Amino acid sequence: MTIRRVLIFTPILIILFLLQSYFWVPTYEEQSRGNPERLNEYITASIGDASTLNPVLSADSASSQIESMVFEGLIDRDENLNFRGRLATSWQIYEEAFFYVNEKIDIHGYGRLRAKEVIELLRKAKAGDLKISKETKSSLDNIRDISIIPASESLVTRYEKNTERDQQKKEVRVRVMAPARIKMLLHKVDQDLFNNLSTILGKHYFSSFNGESYLRFDQEVGQKKRAKYAQEILPSTEHNPIIVFTLRPDVKFHDGHILDAHDVKFTYEAIINPKNLSPRVADYEPVKRVEVIDPLTVRIIYKRLYSPALGTWAMGILPEHLLNDKALRDEAKRTGKDPNKFSLRQSSFNRHPIGCGPFVFREWKSDQYIILDRFDEYWEGPPNYKRYIYRVIPDLLTQEMEFYAGTVDSYGVQPHQVERLKRDPQYQSFSGPSFGYTYIGYNMRRKPFDDPRVRMALSMAIDVDKIIKYVLYGQGERITGPFAKQTDYYNHRIKPVPYDPEGALSLLEKVGWKRNKEGWLEKDGKRFQFTLITNSGNDLRKAILTIAQDGWKQIGIDVRTDLLEWTVFIQERVDKADFDALILSWSMGIEPDLYQIWHSSQANPYQLNFVGFKNKEADDLIIKIRQEYNHEKQVEYCHRLHEIIATEQPYTFLYVTRWTAVLDKRIVIKEIDSKGNTIYKKITPTKTGGYTFHFNKWIKLSAAPNFAMDG
């Protein structure tokens, strides 16, 4: 199908169906008369089904939509994108920092100092008895307490492979004779602490500490391994940021069990348990340990600087009593499975979730619907809607018809419909730029996608401006890299890849691809041929599929296409990295942490770097971004990372859309004031990138209220 046929055929078909719908589809009023409870139901539609209803395991938007109703995190962001407490009423962030006393280096004017003398010197500087910089004084003022951890001896065991190919591991025993260590308790995280302290203790005080000299091995160990062990066991300096959450009392899970700090700790342990293959591991790997102080207090200690730490605790909290080791063993025995191999991924909980969110899971019929009921004991007060129904309707035209008929309550407007539906007086409409982007991703593990010149040529052969103009009807704009375009992390200096078929062909010829007599590109007797896939039910992606195929065919690339049902697409092809190239979108947050999507360690099955992108400088920048607390430096690192990824072209970055949604005007926000009076308010978008922030206060009335006096 050509672009022209897509553009002409689709609107005509829609108009025909629209005309028919007014004659045969029951009206909302007719539905309500037959079922008065319809006013108390919110029905939404999606092209794809959820994959698993467990926030620790899922990574797709369909699952996340349901999980946001069933589960609750410790925090989230308010309508102005500031953090606010949810299951946590408050939190405190501070730091413990450590360094080993380096008795083998002379401190200018003081000689070699022992632990007590080092502390005395720092206290002298803190008291103002030494000439120090403003930055160093700030670091010293931030120290709340300073103490000595005495020298000690211990025995540490490590396990190492004999060779890279050998899966057998040998035991390495290390005797550690640690020198005294200085512990500092800080009011707040100070990433520049050791740089500033080095102006007092000496430029090389920390860098010259030799941890290897304090280790004794029970067998011969190579120099590289010795250095690695020394860094792990006796790091010269250590930052340990800490978050202490105070939990909300008497919060109930849907089964009546009271949530406490053990559930928070269990959720963390479920994520990092390798048996569970959680795609969230990268967010929690920086955690050193989670401590339960008391039932309503949990302390999270990080092993290093990690600036996105707080935001990760928006993760939905799991019920420990239903999913701990004993519960999973019992379930394995009941279902006739091996308890030693049974994991959270196999649990029936993932299809019958129990959380402490505003809605209780009721029923899931695959590829048809998911039904949730209002949780009357929700800590913030029950939602106004009694029921939330998520219907799977793969065809967008059918979704549209059902919206007009009132059998679904909201509709994600397609680009060609925006202007018409925005002006329709029957509906309230909402619009805004998306936090995310659409792209074509290439499996860099497979040839010829392992060559950046090939990937660049593929991008140059696609007319993205035409996609935006004719497929999106102008409801989008070009994007060049991996950050949300609304943030300052996005590098606006990077120019979009130009549409240049001749330049693309020239680039491919330079790497050995030549046209044969039939016009197809060949190299070493093999035709340039691959398959581009995406999910069915998304007309925009289907159109992109056709446009990309046509653009590549014009320069001699033989491209097959395939549309797959959403669950199969995600679970069988994306999760297992079984594809040549695919079309997908990312929904982004405002945080600049891209570790899960772009770090080379995240390119394994069921992880999010499914294209297999690996770049040493990019890896280093991703880590720096995670550990940087200075916004300006973060932006600098992000701009460079953006530049690297744009140059490497692991994706053809296509566009960011403007989203538009419509609701019936009878759906409003319902509140009760301090005098017990009912107040109705208009629904308005928030900075979160959507309009559903106050969903728990929504209700549908039998008639639209008059907001004329609201201005």
| pLDDT tens digits, one per residue of 350-403 | 999 999 999 999 999 999 999 999 999 999 999 999 999 999 998 888 999 999
Q: Does 200 have pLDDT greater than 70?
A: yes
pLDDT of 426 reads 84
Q: Does 17 have pLDDT greater than 80?
A: no
pLDDT of 708 reads 42
- Bridge partners, 534 (sequence order): 563
Q: Does 562 have pLDDT greater than 80?
A: yes
Q: What is the pTM of this model?
A: 0.79
Stronger pLDDT, 19 or 148, i.e. the higher one: 148
Q: What percent of the chain has pLDDT over 90?
A: 73
Task: Return the half-sphere exposure (C-beta side, CA atoms, 13 A cut-off) of residue 388.
Answer: 21
Average the pLDDT over 226-241 and give the result: 93
pLDDT digits (tens, 9 = 90+) for 479-529: 999 998 888 999 999 999 999 999 999 999 999 999 999 999 999 999 999
pLDDT of 392 reads 95
pLDDT digits (tens, 9 = 90+) for 415-467: 888 888 878 888 888 888 888 899 999 999 999 999 999 999 999 999 999 99
| CATH architecture of the domain with residue range 436-659 | Roll (3.10)
How buried is 178 (Cβ within 10 angstroms: 0-12 exposed, 13-18 middle, 19+ buried)? middle
- Residue 60: partners with Cβ closer than 8 Å, 6 or more residues away: 48, 50, 51, 566, 570
Average the pLDDT over 655-682 and give the result: 90
Q: Does 24 have pLDDT greater than 50?
A: no
How many Å apart are CA 453 and CA 497, to the nearest integer?
13
Residue-averaged pLDDT of the chain: 90
Domain map (residue ranges) of the chain = 93-241, 436-659
Distances (CA, A) of 173 to 152, 162, 187, 260: 17, 15, 38, 39
pLDDT digits (tens, 9 = 90+) for 133-151: 999 999 999 999 999 999 9
Of 355, 543, 419, 404, residue with least CA distance to 45: 404
pLDDT digits (tens, 9 = 90+) for 689-709: 788 999 999 999 988 887 643
Beta-sheet pairing, 143-149 with 287-294: unpaired
Of 442, 439, 463, 438, residue with least CA distance to 453: 442
User: 52 in helix, strand or coil?
Assistant: coil
**Angle at Cα 134 formed by Cα 131 and Cα 137, nearest 5°?**
70
Tokens 């294209």 — which residue? Answer: 611
pLDDT digits (tens, 9 = 90+) for 85-109: 999 999 999 999 999 999 888 887 7
pLDDT of 432 reads 81
